Amino acid sequence: MTGHYIAFEGIEGTGKSTIAARLATHLEQRGIDVLRVREPGGTATGERIRHVLLDPGGSVAPWSEALLFAAARAQLAHELVGPALRRGRWVVSDRSVYSSLAYQGGGRGLGMAEVKSVNAPGLREVWPEMVILLRLDAATGLARQEDPDRIGIEGVEFQTKVGQAFDELADQDPARFVVVDAAGDLESVWKSVVAHVEGRWPVSSTT
Ligand code: TYD
């Protein structure tokens, strides 16, 4: 593996999609070949699974939910992320396996170790190298949310559990996690993100 796999994580409303897109563009402007993906989804199969998972009218049992997220992710790793990394591309992802550990493991109470064990076989070495956790309190995140999906409509108690699980994951793995306060304006979040990424992997400007 020669590329780098960077994943953005956090509860709802942290601005991670905007920041992930901006990072991908920033890297591309510096001559880096970037694959940008989002989870769940990113492949034809994954987008179909996404629909099942997020349709606000749907009914999905907790373990069914965890396994469907794992299935969509295994497809993405097989079709896109694994091949990209092997070719030396950088991958910038909106969410990753750590969302499953936090939402299904922590939020739904399935257990982080249990959820990790059903994801790992489909991913093997295709695992985020840097996880940028955009940290925000649950009430602020929910207030910022625009169009909640089946999981986003869960209340503040669920989001708080998810946030706590993310904090625990970051504490356990400080070499992989970068924690950025997302309560401030987007510009200061961006500055912090880019400083962390370029601090780890210096990139030179081609513009
Ligand atoms: P996303 O498309 O990132 O939506 P948002 O931008 O609103 O955060 O994620 C969709 C939802 O799926 C979101 O509520 C988080 C949830 N999710 C999980 O519960 N587990 C997972 O493994 C993933 C990837 C997402």
Residues 6 or more apart from 44 whose CB is under 8 A from it? Answer: none
- Can you tell me the mean pLDDT for 117-132? 98
Q: Residue 2: its pLDDT value, please?
A: 73
Q: Residue 75: its pLDDT value, please?
A: 98
Taking CA atoms only, the protein residue closest to ligand 1 atom 19 is 103
Q: Residue 27: its pLDDT value, please?
A: 97
Q: How many other C-beta atoms are found inside a 10 Å radius of the C-beta of residue 152?
A: 18
Taking CA atoms only, the protein residue closest to ligand 1 atom 5 is 12
Q: Which has the minimum average pLDDT: 44-48, 62-66, 151-155, 167-171?
A: 151-155
- Can you tell me the mean pLDDT for 165-170? 98
- Can you tell me the mean pLDDT for 125-133? 98
Question: Which of 3, 7, 42 has its CA nearest to residue 128?
Answer: 7
Cβ–Cβ < 8 Å for 174, 3: no
Strands 130-135 and 5-9: parallel
Q: Is the pLDDT of residue 207 over 60?
A: no
- Which has the higher per-residue pLDDT, 82 or 206? 82
Cα–Cα dist 77/17, whole Å = 20
Cα–Cα dist 170/176, whole Å = 8
What does the pLDDT look like over 89-123, one tens digit per residue?
Answer: 999 999 999 999 999 999 999 999 999 999 999 99
> Which of ligand 1's atoms lies nearest the C-alpha of 100?
22
Report the amino acid identity of residue 45.
T
Q: Is the pLDDT of residue 204 over 80?
A: no
Taking only Cα atoms into account, the Rg of the chain, rounded to an integer number of angstroms, comes to: 16
Query: Tokens 């694994």 map to which residue?
Result: 82
Confidence band, pLDDT 50/70/90 cuts, at residue 205? low
The length of the chain is: 207
Sorted by where each starts, the structural domains of the chain and their CATH numbers stand as: 5-200 (3.40.50.300)
Instruction: Indicate whether residue 69 lines ligand 1 (CB < 6 A).
Output: yes
